[in-house]
A and B are shown apart, each in its own frame.
Chain A
Amino acid sequence: MDVRVVGIFIARRLLGLAVLLLIISFLVFSLIYLAPGNLVDVLLGLGEKTPEVVAAIRQQYHLDQPFFVQYLIWLGNALHFDFGRSIMLNQPVTAAIAARMAITLFISVYGFVVAVVAGLVLGTAAALKRNTAVDRGAVGIAIVGVSAPSFATGLILLWVFAIQLGWFPVIGTGEADFGDRFWHLTLPALALGITGTALMTKMTRAALIESLEQDYVNFARSRGVGPLRTLFVYGLRNSLIPIVTAAGLVIATTLTGSVLIEQVFSLQGIGSLLISSINNKDIPVVQGTTMLIAVLVVVVNLLVDLCYFVIDPRTRMKGALA
């Protein structure tokens, strides 16, 4: 294990991450200028349009400065987690986000866990029992999960389980306690999880099938290595890289999918904040929430890459970066 190799890798990736976020922030910032409509009117919102107010706005948003300077000012503030004030909500953007983070994170993580567990189980079962009903069923679920839009499945779940059967509440996020929240948010999380399950099932199945076809598995069997150890140490462990990659994709999917799901289930999360701020042209909020989601996804990707180091010893060796 060469610490230098790992260290250089992390340094490179962090640098790449910084560059990436910089580019994204630039694009996000520039969006205001591309939006149709007079910028000042947009920033004014519903207030009265008087010369003093206009001047104040021009002052507040540095609209008289060159574009690039405005960007740098904005970036400086962003690095202090200051994205300005929300026009429609009349509160600091960060406050608005903070109030809603919990719900989005909850359903994302919940959906992620469901997807990973279900996907691993289904994918493994399918790989072990190829060409049987189990395999066909699992692959069928995979296709449906990938094809059916999460908002459609969310709606169906809502209708069947909440409205018709009444097993789950239709609206609300559950304030009482963790268990209550859990129950309220199960349906949205499941809807999010279905697409993720499809991804995980497909990747796990494919990776496991390939691993189990390798010579080293046959050699292990010929030496009397038992079926359990063969499955876990020779099959799954050697499939970890694609599986972890898929898990990373799943998180990215659940994070962004929450935008849609929150609409279906009327949840006050980051996703619905983003949508309403887009519809209301609340630019500062748009910028803030986009940056937040982007940062989350990018960090997840980095974590996934770091996992590779843990999984595969070949990546840790000198010269592995070549």
Chain B
Amino acid sequence: MTGHEKLLEVEGLQITANVDGESRTLVSGINLTVDPGETIAIVGESGSGKSMTARALMGLLPDGVTVRGNVHYEGTQLLPGTRGRRLHKDFAMIFQDPFTMLNPLLPSGRHISETLRDEKGRRLRKPAARAVEIERLAEVGIQDPTVATRYPFELSGGMRQRVGIAATLASNPTLLIADEVTTALDVTTQAEILQLLKRVQRSRNVGMILITHDLSVAFSMADRVYVLYAGQLLEQSPSSRMLIEPLHPYTRGLLDSDPPLDHRAATLYSMPGSVPQASTVLHSCPFAARCAWAIEDCRTAATPLREIGGESGRSSACIRIEEIRGELGLVSEPSTADASGSEVGMSSSGAFLAVNNLRKEFSRGGRRVIALDSVSIEVAAGESVGIVGESGSGKTTLGRSIVGLETPTAGSIHINGVDATNYDALGHGQVAKLRTAVQMAFQDPYSTLSPARAVGPVLREALRLDNPQASNADVAELLKLVGLPASYARRKPAALSGGERQRVALARALARKPNLIVCDEIVSALDVSVQAQILNLLKRLRAELGIGYLFITHDLAVVRQITDRVYVLHRGRLVEHGPTGQVLDAPREEYTRSLVASVPQNTVTLL
């Protein structure tokens, strides 16, 4: 595996942001190494500083952000670099969002050839450039040579990501840094791209640093994993070891918070509290405030990474790890599997929500797009049903049609017996009744609340639609229902975290006392630990209030945790449906099988 020379050696990396005259430390004390041909992963949630670290290694920090420390590449110190220039020409970075990564005014192929020079140092002429472009595209799995002449907007997300990878490979780098490269993609495309990266790495024998928040992606792709939290490294281990026996309470928490795909947990583990600002925990263990094993020393002294004796190549920042590693133990046996509700079929009282042969067409740019094609689903009162699919499956359109944000082209929707197909055709009173039957929660916590209004008035406004006398006490009760203190009524959304905002959004929906809430990807934009909190909240609400959910998501593990039955959509068509456990464990249809297979598992067998 390794030669004698390390490819990359980073020591004492510290990144500081200077904003408005104040300086804040974002990341400190980072030590890491990469061998030629090795893949390491840096895992962290939001606020960990992982993206800044990646940018620092590339030399692409934004204005006002500085870096200190040692970065040795093949023995040479690279810092400080020149601002606006990459740290070394052998480094390449693959970006996260394929839709913004490419210059919309340049043909795709240009991105590959624009930096190439011939032996005399001049720009390549057209034929030579074209030849290189086609070669690189083939390397990333694009066989069609005309792609090089097409503009980015003519290509799909997956294709654009491949073009981006081809462009980075053009200069034959020795180190690839992949920053959350699959976050914006579907699960099946994600699997393909990860496979591609692995293939490229093997054939070129380059080192790779994978930045991700997804532990399963890290374990399936990397040889060694670094765990980053609030700007400091907490653990470093080979994947195979970390997966089975984490050496830090935070890693343990992360592993536990990840919703399992293969069974349903009665309650999801969620770490209490939230991520602190890096600059506030520089001289203590950053995780101390949330750690069940924390002692006084954890809070008062800095905790750098140190090698754990008796374990080759494993380090931990936890000062108590030797004594508590037994307690941290092996990753837990499946917590009592939740058998309740997993076999619920249709209740005999008839469906609360009945969608029949729903069809929705859009005309986009002169073309007709069929978003939904004869989809039929049923949800009984109090049932939690999942709608699973990738982008373009129509799942969001389905949810929106049910609450009247879209009007179907054909088919019908019945809610509690009332024909709710076309909300515009209904009378005022009928619509009002429907609103107390079905409500909706949306995906993006940062735009789901009115930015200019405080939480209290918004909730009161919703409550007053049914009860004109609703008071602050009622608002406080509603907040308590979703696990927020009454004092939050005074806050504006800007003062709330992502998870808190989703809770407020749920409270707003609950104000109308609905029987069913359509949840459209409501946890997809949240960190894993916050996701677990919200899912637990949903379970509790269902147990306390008896409400049902129509849970729309692309995440199979999440759908397992929260739903009794599931429908699988693909390109607007219903592909399969049944009890959730059954569909996920033993999928009948080809598409469902490929969907399940694409989910990165916590296994170290490389894809």
The answer to A–B direct touch (Cβ < 8 A) is yes
For residues 389 through 408 of chain B, which have their beta carbon under 8 Å from a beta carbon of chain A?
A: none
Say yes or no: A216-B100 contact (C-beta < 8 A), given A223-B167, A224-B115. Answer: yes
Asked if B95 and A218 sit within 8 Å, CB to CB, the answer is: yes
For residues 171 through 227 of chain A, which have their beta carbon under 8 Å from a beta carbon of chain B?
A: 214-216, 218-225, 227
Asked if B115 and A238 sit within 8 Å, CB to CB, the answer is: no
Q: From A234, which residue of chain B is reached at the shortest CB distance?
A: B103
Say yes or no: A221-B101 contact (C-beta < 8 A), given A229-B114, A314-B153, A319-B366. Answer: no
B528 contacts chain A at the CB level, 8 A cutoff:
no
Asked if A216 and B102 sit within 8 Å, CB to CB, the answer is: yes
For residues 74 through 93 of chain B, which have their beta carbon under 8 Å from a beta carbon of chain A?
A: 84-86, 89, 91-93
Asked if A318 and B366 sit within 8 Å, CB to CB, the answer is: yes
A174 to chain B, nearest CB (A): 43
Q: Mark B117-154, 1 if CB is under 8 A from A, else 0.
A: 00000000000000000000000000000000001011
For residues 200 through 229 of chain B, which have their beta carbon under 8 Å from a beta carbon of chain A?
A: none
| Interfacial chain A residues near B105, Cβ < 8 Å | 237-238, 311-313
Q: Mark A234-272, 1 if CB is under 8 A from B, else 0.
A: 100110000000000000000000000000000000000
Asked if A224 and B171 sit within 8 Å, CB to CB, the answer is: yes
B428 contacts chain A at the CB level, 8 A cutoff:
no
A55 contacts chain B at the CB level, 8 A cutoff:
no
A35 to chain B, nearest CB (A): 48
A268 to chain B, nearest CB (A): 45
Say yes or no: A215-B95 contact (C-beta < 8 A), given A221-B84, A223-B171, A313-B151. Answer: yes
B106 contacts chain A at the CB level, 8 A cutoff:
yes
| Interfacial chain A residues near B97, Cβ < 8 Å | 215
Asked if B60 and A224 sit within 8 Å, CB to CB, the answer is: no
B364 contacts chain A at the CB level, 8 A cutoff:
yes
A83 to chain B, nearest CB (A): 44
B8 to chain A, nearest CB (A): 16
Give bound CA distance, A60 to B564, whole Å. Answer: 89
B358 contacts chain A at the CB level, 8 A cutoff:
no
| Interfacial chain B residues near A312, Cβ < 8 Å | 104-105
Asked if B115 and A219 sit within 8 Å, CB to CB, the answer is: no
Asked if A223 and B92 sit within 8 Å, CB to CB, the answer is: yes
| Interfacial chain B residues near A221, Cβ < 8 Å | 60, 84-86
| Interfacial chain B residues near A130, Cβ < 8 Å | 63
Give bound CA distance, A152 to B106, whole Å. Answer: 45
Asked if B114 and A222 sit within 8 Å, CB to CB, the answer is: no
B4 contacts chain A at the CB level, 8 A cutoff:
no
B530 contacts chain A at the CB level, 8 A cutoff:
no
Which of A214, A219, A227, A318 interacts with B365 by CB under 8 Å?
A: A318
| Interfacial chain A residues near B505, Cβ < 8 Å | none
A322 to chain B, nearest CB (A): 5
A313 to chain B, nearest CB (A): 5
Say yes or no: A223-B115 contact (C-beta < 8 A), given A218-B95, A318-B365. Answer: yes
Q: Mark A299-322, 1 if CB is under 8 A from B, else 0.
A: 000000000000111100111111
B158 contacts chain A at the CB level, 8 A cutoff:
no
| Interfacial chain B residues near A321, Cβ < 8 Å | 366
Asked if A314 and B151 sit within 8 Å, CB to CB, the answer is: yes
| Interfacial chain A residues near B366, Cβ < 8 Å | 318-319, 321-322
| Interfacial chain B residues near A225, Cβ < 8 Å | 114-115
Which of A219, A224, A320 interacts with B102 by CB under 8 Å?
A: A219
Give bound CA distance, A130 to B367, whole Å. Answer: 44
| Interfacial chain A residues near B364, Cβ < 8 Å | 319, 322
B278 contacts chain A at the CB level, 8 A cutoff:
no
Asked if A215 and B101 sit within 8 Å, CB to CB, the answer is: yes
Give bound CA distance, A113 to B366, whole Å. Answer: 40
B431 to chain A, nearest CB (A): 30
Q: From A227, which residue of chain B is reached at the shortest CB distance?
A: B84
Asked if B168 and A216 sit within 8 Å, CB to CB, the answer is: no
* Most central of A222, A311, A320 by chain B CB within 10 Å: A222
B164 contacts chain A at the CB level, 8 A cutoff:
yes
Which of A223, A238, A322 interacts with B104 by CB under 8 Å?
A: A238
Give bound CA distance, A222 to B168, whole Å. Answer: 8
Say yes or no: A219-B101 contact (C-beta < 8 A), given A314-B151, A322-B365. Answer: yes
B58 contacts chain A at the CB level, 8 A cutoff:
yes
| Interfacial chain B residues near A237, Cβ < 8 Å | 105
For residues 166 through 219 of chain B, which have their beta carbon under 8 Å from a beta carbon of chain A?
A: 167-168, 170-171
A233 contacts chain B at the CB level, 8 A cutoff:
yes
Give bound CA distance, A223 to B104, whole Å. Answer: 17
Asked if B58 and A222 sit within 8 Å, CB to CB, the answer is: yes
| Interfacial chain B residues near A214, Cβ < 8 Å | 100
Q: From A217, which residue of chain B is reached at the shortest CB distance?
A: B103
Give bound CA distance, A103 to B104, whole Å. Answer: 42
| Interfacial chain B residues near A229, Cβ < 8 Å | 114
A243 to chain B, nearest CB (A): 13
Asked if B170 and A223 sit within 8 Å, CB to CB, the answer is: yes
Give bound CA distance, A88 to B106, whole Å. Answer: 58
| Interfacial chain A residues near B153, Cβ < 8 Å | 314, 317
A238 to chain B, nearest CB (A): 6
Give bound CA distance, A130 to B60, whole Å. Answer: 17
Asked if A222 and B101 sit within 8 Å, CB to CB, the answer is: no
Asked if B151 and A222 sit within 8 Å, CB to CB, the answer is: no
| Interfacial chain A residues near B95, Cβ < 8 Å | 215, 218-219, 222
Asked if A218 and B60 sit within 8 Å, CB to CB, the answer is: yes
Q: From B363, which residue of chain A is reached at the shortest CB distance?
A: A322
* Most central of A234, A313, A320 by chain B CB within 10 Å: A313
Q: From A237, which residue of chain B is reached at the shortest CB distance?
A: B105
Give bound CA distance, A251 to B164, whole Å. Answer: 40
Give bound CA distance, A314 to B366, whole Å. Answer: 14
Give bound CA distance, A318 to B153, whole Å. Answer: 13
Give bound CA distance, A238 to B89, whole Å. Answer: 26
Say yes or no: A222-B103 contact (C-beta < 8 A), given A130-B63, A313-B151, A320-B365. Answer: no
Asked if A224 and B365 sit within 8 Å, CB to CB, the answer is: no
B168 to chain A, nearest CB (A): 6
Give bound CA distance, A218 to B63, whole Å. Answer: 12
Give bound CA distance, A223 to B102, whole Å. Answer: 12
| Interfacial chain A residues near B85, Cβ < 8 Å | 221, 227
| Interfacial chain A residues near B170, Cβ < 8 Å | 223
Give bound CA distance, A319 to B364, whole Å. Answer: 8
A214 to chain B, nearest CB (A): 6
| Interfacial chain B residues near A317, Cβ < 8 Å | 153-154, 365
Which of B63, B154, B168 interacts with A223 by CB under 8 Å?
A: B168
Asked if B60 and A222 sit within 8 Å, CB to CB, the answer is: yes
A144 to chain B, nearest CB (A): 27
Give bound CA distance, A189 to B91, whole Å. Answer: 52
Q: From B99, which residue of chain A is reached at the shortest CB distance?
A: A215
| Interfacial chain A residues near B63, Cβ < 8 Å | 130
Q: From A214, which residue of chain B is reached at the shortest CB distance?
A: B100
| Interfacial chain B residues near A320, Cβ < 8 Å | 365
Asked if A220 and B367 sit within 8 Å, CB to CB, the answer is: no
B536 to chain A, nearest CB (A): 35
Give bound CA distance, A234 to B97, whole Å. Answer: 17
Which of A219, A224, A227, A311 interacts with B89 by CB under 8 Å?
A: A224
* Most central of A223, A225, A238 by chain B CB within 10 Å: A223
Q: From A221, which residue of chain B is reached at the shortest CB distance?
A: B60
Give bound CA distance, A319 to B154, whole Å. Answer: 12
Can you show 28 pairs from A to B with CB atoms below 8 A apart?
A: A130-B63, A214-B100, A215-B95, A215-B101, A216-B101, A216-B103, A216-B104, A218-B60, A218-B95, A219-B95, A219-B101, A219-B167, A221-B60, A221-B85, A222-B91, A223-B167, A223-B168, A229-B114, A237-B105, A312-B104, A313-B151, A314-B151, A314-B153, A318-B365, A320-B365, A321-B366, A322-B363, A322-B365
* Chain B interface residues (CB < 8 Å from chain A): 58, 60, 63, 84-86, 89, 91-93, 95, 97, 100-106, 111, 114-115, 151, 153-154, 164, 167-168, 170-171, 363-367
8 further A-B pairs in the complex, CB-CB below 8 A; given A219-B101, A313-B151, A322-B364 = A130-B63, A216-B104, A222-B60, A223-B92, A224-B115, A234-B103, A311-B105, A319-B365
* Chain A interface residues (CB < 8 Å from chain B): 130, 214-216, 218-225, 227, 229, 233-234, 237-238, 311-314, 317-322
Instruction: Report the 3 A-B pairs with minimum CB-CB distance, sorted nearest first.
Output: A319-B365, A215-B100, A319-B366
